[in-house]
Structure 1
Amino acid sequence: MTPFIFVLETASNLPLVARFALAGIAMSTSGVSTALVAYCAKPYVNKLRWLEADKQAAGLEMTTLTLGLHERVTRVYDTAFLVPASRFFATWELAEAFQLPKAEAELGKAQGTLPREETVAETLTSKGDVIGRWIVRWDENGAGVCRQQGRVVRYFNVHQELLGRPI
């Protein structure tokens, strides 16, 4: 609509600076509202699928959309890393830190599998290309600190009726 401000206002006595100011206000209002819609809608999960391993639920696959309506599929391989979100308009987020149960940490230490690094979640494009990972680094005591590699979707707004069963 910004070009119309210049066309419609040519017959008026508004100075050119005022027309630019009106156009700038219209553009910034449009930009702010688009940014708010993007912020609120970004974590919305429109498809949810359980990842099965040996007849047991091993993880979740959640599909979200970008502002340009491109699908982003995030596979969370360990649902224990999905915690209540601290962000508005999101139900879950990927945890920043995690502590293994003491027995599991002792077993990992005895088997020599701690310390280690593993992928907790991956975000893929609709073509299957990996664009981001959520990686946990376990120390020798079973304390894990997560980090992002690439562009992983971290926040999810999931309606409970999509789940079908509890996590």
Structure 2
Amino acid sequence: MTSLLRRPVAHAGVYATRFRLAPRRSMLNLSRRMYSTEEQKTGIAAMYVGSMRVLYYRLKLFSLSTLSVASVFAPLFVLWPSSIETVGRIGIAATTLAASGTSTALISWIGAPYVGHMTLRRSSPNATPMHYLSDGTNMLLLDDSPSDPKVHASEPYILELATLDWRMRSLKTTVYSPSLLRKTERAFASWELPPSPPPLLLDQGVDQRDSYTVSKLVAETVDVSGGKVRGRWWARWRVDPNDDQATECAGTCEAEGTPVRYFFVDESRLGDDWRVIQ
């Protein structure tokens, strides 16, 4: 459970350094200190490598190659003089493109959750999870720079999962709360980011008249080649201080951008080192 601290005010002292208030209809842009490559390489507790990553890579490469070839030669086939009538050539070209596109999309959907490699890292001993407060229902939007795990890690370990998008670009999803990962019913996937977080414990000593939203970053997906954030998975709780009977607040999870939510991991290949996230 997460304990709710006081909402920061002008004289709130140390709490004002941990929370940022987002004005209504505005974007919250935070400048964050980028951690070095040396820091990223330390604190590795366990590593996992998917046994079928090479096969999936070659299959996806083949499907994209055939789609590219079909896209190039289909117009040439239609325009090139032939004994086949134009209507027939258009039909053949359209059928070829549709078949190639469908197979490529199907392979992409099946393999999207496949985790090629996964790393379990220890969080910094000085890590303090950041919670954001907003005075409205507006979503808090961070900039497109990768976040600092020291700011958002809320558990002793963080999880990094590598996947591929439909264009074969490498994606890295960092899960700052691995304990929230759950089994999924999606085909060809084993884990998913949660649809809702645990209830938020309310501090009965908070003197607050207006309703507000508490947000916590659960996971973040980054395009490795471009270094930009693709999307984030947020846990949000809407707090109504006027409800005197409430001792905890139910929340929901929301996506910002297009984060990777589903993952396929062969759990039989996970050793005892991975038990720390169970």
TM-score between both structures, scaled by the size of structure 1: 0.81
The answer as to 2:88 corresponding to 1:23 is no
- In the alignment, the residues of structure 2 paired with residue 162 and residue 142 of structure 1 have an alpha-carbon distance, to the nearest angstrom, of 37
Give the aligned partner of residue 61 of structure 1.
160
Q: Secondary structure at the match of 2:197?
A: strand
Give the aligned partner of residue 222 of structure 2.
124
Unmatched segments (≥5 aa) in structure 1 = none
Match of 2:251 among 122, 141, 144: 144
Give the aligned partner of residue 203 of structure 2.
109
Query: Closer, same or farther in 2 for the Cα pair 1:110/1:162, shift >3 Å?
Result: farther
- In the alignment, the residues of structure 2 paired with residue 161 and residue 59 of structure 1 have an alpha-carbon distance, to the nearest angstrom, of 20
Within-5 A mapping of 1:36-47: 36-47=106-117
Question: Which amino acid is the alignment partner of residue 136 of structure 1?
Answer: A
How many residue pairs were aligned?
Answer: 158
Give the aligned partner of residue 52 of structure 1.
122
Is the contact between residue 43 and residue 156 of structure 1 (CA under 8 Å) also seen in structure 2?
Answer: yes
Relative contact order, CA 8 A, sep 6+: which one is greater?
A: 2
- CA drift of 1:131 comes to 2.2
- In the alignment, the residues of structure 2 paired with residue 57 and residue 9 of structure 1 have an alpha-carbon distance, to the nearest angstrom, of 68
Q: Deviations over 1:141-166 (max 9, x none)?
A: 23220100112111111122554323
- CA drift of 1:57 comes to 4.5
Query: Closer, same or farther in 2 for the Cα pair 1:116/1:91, shift >3 Å?
Result: same
Give the aligned partner of residue 35 of structure 1.
105
Q: Which has the higher strand share?
A: 1
Give the aligned partner of residue 74 of structure 1.
173
Give the aligned partner of residue 131 of structure 2.
none
Identity %: 32
Question: Which amino acid is the alignment partner of residue 263 of structure 2?
Answer: F
Question: Which amino acid is the alignment partner of residue 109 of structure 1?
Answer: D
Q: Secondary structure at the match of 1:132?
A: strand
TM-score between both structures, scaled by the size of structure 2: 0.51
- In the alignment, the residues of structure 1 paired with residue 268 and residue 222 of structure 2 have an alpha-carbon distance, to the nearest angstrom, of 24
- In the alignment, the residues of structure 1 paired with residue 78 and residue 256 of structure 2 have an alpha-carbon distance, to the nearest angstrom, of 46
